[in-house]
A and B are shown apart, each in its own frame.
Chain A
Amino acid sequence: MGKKVLIADDEPNIVVSLEFLMKQKGYVVKVANTGEDALNAVAEFGPDLILLDVMMPRMSGYDLCQKVRENPAWQRIKIIMLSAKGRDVEVNKGMAVGADAYVTKPFSTKELLAKVHEMLGE
């Protein structure tokens, strides 16, 4: 069985492409549209990697990331932050709260896939 990828983003159009691409690469994919759904999905679905959008309603990607890092059982989960916020301070904060990579939108899907691949040690 392939590795599990959780896509947490509230923009349906990007989710469609990401979901399609990840499935094509043989990953098991789950989608969450809000921070809270994503947090539940982390517990239930047990992803190996999260593609995490920063700007989501109610709970931001930063907060979600911090919550995941607070739980010792979830330390192995890789987190790639996807964000339309591209200022230095935002990247700085994303990395500080525990993201493994910070990707600014728009991104190359090839590079994103390569990064996912690399992080999952494949």
Chain B
Amino acid sequence: MRDRIRFSLALAGAWGFVMAVVAAAVLLVGADMSERERALVAPMLQERAASAILIAVLLIVPLALVLQALFRRHVQAARQLDEDARIMLTANPSHRAPPRGSAEIRRLAERFNGFADAHELLKQDVEKRVREANARIEQERNRLAALMSELVQSVIMCNSEGRILLYNARAMQLLRKPLDGASAAGKAHSLVGLGRSVFAIFDRNLIIHALESIHDRLRQGARSPVSNFVTTAPAGQLVRVQLAPVFGSASEAAPEGAPDAITGFVLILDNITRRIESGNRRDLLLQTLTQGTRASLASVRAAVETIASFPDMGKEAQNKFIGIIGEEAQRLSAKLDQTVGEFADSLRTEWPLEDMRGADLIAAARRRIESRLALPTKLESVDESIWLKVDSYSLMQAVTYLAGRLREEFGIREIRFGLESAGQLAHLDLIWTGAPLGSETTMAWQTDSMEAGGEACPLTLKEIIERHNAEIWYQIHKPSQREYFRIAIPVTRPEETTWSAPGAAESRPEFYDFDLFHQPGQTPELDNRPLAALNYTVFDTETTGLKPSEGDEIVSIGAVRIVNGRLLEHEVFEQLVDPGRDMSAEASKITGIETSMLENQPTIDKVLPAFRQFCEDTVLVAHNAAFDMRFLRLKEEATGVAFTQPVLDTLLMSAVLHPNLDAHRLEAIAARMGVNPIGRHTALGDAIMTGEVFLRMIPLLAEQGIRTLGEARAASQKTYFARIEY
């Protein structure tokens, strides 16, 4: 638009100039004439005034043609040369400027191409050296990878924000999540990936709690504390997790006695599903054996003693007692046989309970109740010397749950805690006043599913108490009118578990993206973050047709991740989708997907949740994103899956970068940027190509002053293409 105004102004100027010259010439000649000559010429000029004006107006046409040619040869060609030069310098060193415009600009283009040749040679030389250096690093990397792959346990290393920096193949296998309804096809997506959030795998609060307890232990002077907990993996396995902190190098400069800065953590995972199952079975057997035996023995003993005490009882009564003895003896043998048969393969239960000071557990529970339930808490007498063997997270959930129900159902305004020793047991009391509970209530609370402070727990209170080998009951202390839940729980003596965490030593392996340690959090200030520092999911969809509003459906989703400026080609999402309708002939021709290929594939309501998990906490990128997003948005209501993260569109960004070039199709951009078009028209192939194009755009955008996500989105919105709607 601006060009058009400039051109119009130039044309008006040129025309005005010509008119001014002609008028000046006429005035000069007029001034030179005598009075008589003027009287003779004036009527002649007046008669021809109309023709003169017509000629003057028509003069605009040749002037415009001349100006346009000049504009193309000098201005337009110079601009195109500028854009070509930028591409050569940043995105594609093999790009060359075609000869355009005036002879000078053509010569200039040749010079530029010459420089580009020299630049490319230099660059190739540098790249060769970089390749050699990379090969050495690769070798080191492979050694570490080999070591990690030999580990029996799954290992995941994260930065302090929970972004994954490193993982091994076992972790990837363990943390796969099958798509609902696609189990027959064996489809599953791993939730592990570089730069992905570990909170998509494990409950955020669980990890925060483990880190808090490590902080507490560090404050108490523990040297290398670790925290253990058991949780469920996304596919339902029980996983025993050991969390160890990673300390940053900053701690060396910190004053003595100051706690080390935790810059990340390592999770060591162990699948204990089978062990726990067999352990539970063993517990059950042992319980039925002991309790069953005791019950039978009690009957036998009572019968024998009764006969002995009353030898002169009648024959009938005597036979009855002898019958009981025989029956119980048989029951006992059967029980023993059964136990021996089943007990052989049962292993030891390993529900890991960790040693924790009772006072610390109460402190953590108070923090939690106050923050989650906004319920004030106080301490009564607490014996600081008591250590307990607990799964602190689940026990705290249990206590929070009780406090939550007391507040909701009985309007309790304050909870107090007490802890006292009772021989081999400790009594952990949750105390309140003024709301006596019925025994039905306390019974129901123990078996209801637990929910407190917006959090649900898969276990019931009863199960948690059983897991701790504890008992819980409700009591009223009449004199003080205080009521309390008392948890009787076995005490233990502290035992420090140590684990030598990898410190900030120089030998830190150069493997994967340790730079992510320095990455700031995913906050609402996302818009202010530089484009180069963000994590992206680049995706593409294939569809049955081009009109989502008329019933066209997604048949394939492909996506790839960009982390720290690297396209991670092994961290991909690729899934065909049963659209519930036939492919049109054209769509089949373009995508190569036939209707028959989509039978037995999962439907969109199964695929979208997995896809959302894949792109959690990343910025979405797509070419012509409006189209793909429209398909996703139309499914929001039906699937309950919403994609709310920011979206960037390579089509719009191409228009921002090259407003003077017409072609913004993916192939055209790829050719300009020197990206090889491989696997076009498969969702994954297109996603990868879009990702590579996007990576090359980042430096070009930076040249135009577009450095942050917010700036990129604002610039995109301004372009003409932003107005296209499907």
Which residues of A approach B to under 8 Å, CB–CB?
Answer: 11, 13-14, 16-18, 20-21, 24, 55, 62-63, 66-67, 70, 82, 84-90, 92-93, 96-97, 104-110
6 A-B Cβ contacts within 8 A? Answer: A17-B303, A20-B306, A70-B439, A88-B423, A107-B298, A110-B305
A99 to B131, CA, bound (A): 80
- Rounded to whole Å, the gap between the CB of B473 and the closest CB of chain A is 5
Across the interface, which residues of B come within 8 angstroms of A21, CB to CB? 302, 306, 309
Provide the main secondary structure of the chain A interface: helix
A86 to B299, CA, bound (A): 16
Which 6 A/B pairs are nearest by Cβ-Cβ distance?
A: A17-B302, A105-B298, A84-B294, A13-B299, A106-B297, A106-B298
Contacts A84-B294, A109-B309 given; does A14 touch B299 at CB 8 Å? yes
Across the interface, which residues of B come within 8 angstroms of A18, CB to CB? 302
Cβ contact of B294, chosen from A63, A93, A106, A109, cutoff 8 A: A106
A84 touching B302, Cβ below 8 Å:
no
Cβ contact of B301, chosen from A11, A16, A89, A107, cutoff 8 A: A107
For the complex, is B488 an interface residue (Cβ under 8 Å from A)? yes
- Rounded to whole Å, the gap between the CB of B486 and the closest CB of chain A is 7
A84 to B422, CA, bound (A): 22
Across the interface, which residues of B come within 8 angstroms of A62, CB to CB? 473
Cβ contact of A89, chosen from B291, B310, B488, cutoff 8 A: B488
Contacts A88-B425, A96-B473, A106-B300 given; does A17 touch B306 at CB 8 Å? yes
**Which residue of A has the minimal Cβ distance to B291?**
A84
Across the interface, which residues of B come within 8 angstroms of A110, CB to CB? 305, 309
A13 touching B488, Cβ below 8 Å:
no
A20 touching B317, Cβ below 8 Å:
yes
For the complex, is B292 an interface residue (Cβ under 8 Å from A)? yes
Across the interface, which residues of B come within 8 angstroms of A86, CB to CB? 290, 294
- Rounded to whole Å, the gap between the CB of A85 and the closest CB of chain B is 6
A63 touching B305, Cβ below 8 Å:
no
Across the interface, which residues of A come within 8 angstroms of B305, CB to CB? 17, 108-110
A121 to B369, CA, bound (A): 49
Across the interface, which residues of B come within 8 angstroms of A20, CB to CB? 306, 310, 317, 321
Find residues 518-539 in chain B having any chain A CB closer than 8 Å to their own CB: none
B298 touching A89, Cβ below 8 Å:
no
A77 to B337, CA, bound (A): 42
Find residues 658-689 in chain B having any chain A CB closer than 8 Å to their own CB: none
For the complex, is B629 an interface residue (Cβ under 8 Å from A)? no
A108 touching B301, Cβ below 8 Å:
yes
A to B contact number (C-beta, < 8 Å): 104
Across the interface, which residues of A come within 8 angstroms of B295, CB to CB? 11, 14, 84, 105
Given contacts A67-B439, A89-B489, 16 further A-B contacts (CB under 8 A): A11-B295, A11-B298, A14-B299, A20-B317, A20-B321, A62-B473, A63-B443, A88-B423, A89-B469, A89-B471, A90-B471, A92-B422, A93-B473, A93-B488, A97-B473, A109-B302
Contacts A96-B486, A107-B301 given; does A16 touch B294 at CB 8 Å? no
Across the interface, which residues of B come within 8 angstroms of A85, CB to CB? 291
Which residues of B approach A to under 8 Å, CB–CB?
Answer: 290-303, 305-306, 309-310, 317, 320-321, 324, 327-328, 422-425, 438-439, 443, 469-471, 473-475, 486, 488-490
A14 touching B473, Cβ below 8 Å:
no
A99 to B457, CA, bound (A): 33
Across the interface, which residues of A come within 8 angstroms of B310, CB to CB? 20, 24
A18 to B303, CA, bound (A): 9
- Rounded to whole Å, the gap between the CB of B435 and the closest CB of chain A is 15
**Which residue of B has the minimal Cβ distance to A18?**
B302
B475 touching A84, Cβ below 8 Å:
no
**Which residue of B has the minimal Cβ distance to A11?**
B295
A84 touching B298, Cβ below 8 Å:
yes
**Which residue of B has the minimal Cβ distance to A67?**
B439
A55 touching B443, Cβ below 8 Å:
no
A102 to B439, CA, bound (A): 21
- Rounded to whole Å, the gap between the CB of B315 and the closest CB of chain A is 15
A16 touching B324, Cβ below 8 Å:
yes
A105 to B300, CA, bound (A): 11
- Rounded to whole Å, the gap between the CB of B51 and the closest CB of chain A is 117
A93 touching B327, Cβ below 8 Å:
no
**Which residue of B has the minimal Cβ distance to A20?**
B306
- Rounded to whole Å, the gap between the CB of B322 and the closest CB of chain A is 12
A84 touching B299, Cβ below 8 Å:
no
**Which residue of A has the minimal Cβ distance to B307?**
A17
Across the interface, which residues of A come within 8 angstroms of B490, CB to CB? 88-89
A23 to B86, CA, bound (A): 107
Across the interface, which residues of A come within 8 angstroms of B296, CB to CB? 13
Across the interface, which residues of B come within 8 angstroms of A89, CB to CB? 425, 469-471, 488-490
B324 touching A17, Cβ below 8 Å:
yes
Across the interface, which residues of A come within 8 angstroms of B443, CB to CB? 63
A82 to B470, CA, bound (A): 20
Which residue, A20, A24, A66, A82, has most C-beta atoms of chain B within 10 A? A20
A88 to B422, CA, bound (A): 10
Across the interface, which residues of B come within 8 angstroms of A109, CB to CB? 301-302, 305-306, 309
A84 touching B306, Cβ below 8 Å:
no
Cβ contact of B290, chosen from A55, A84, A107, cutoff 8 A: A84
A16 touching B321, Cβ below 8 Å:
yes
Across the interface, which residues of A come within 8 angstroms of B327, CB to CB? 13
Across the interface, which residues of A come within 8 angstroms of B321, CB to CB? 16-17, 20
- Rounded to whole Å, the gap between the CB of B286 and the closest CB of chain A is 12
Cβ contact of B299, chosen from A11, A24, A97, A104, cutoff 8 A: A11
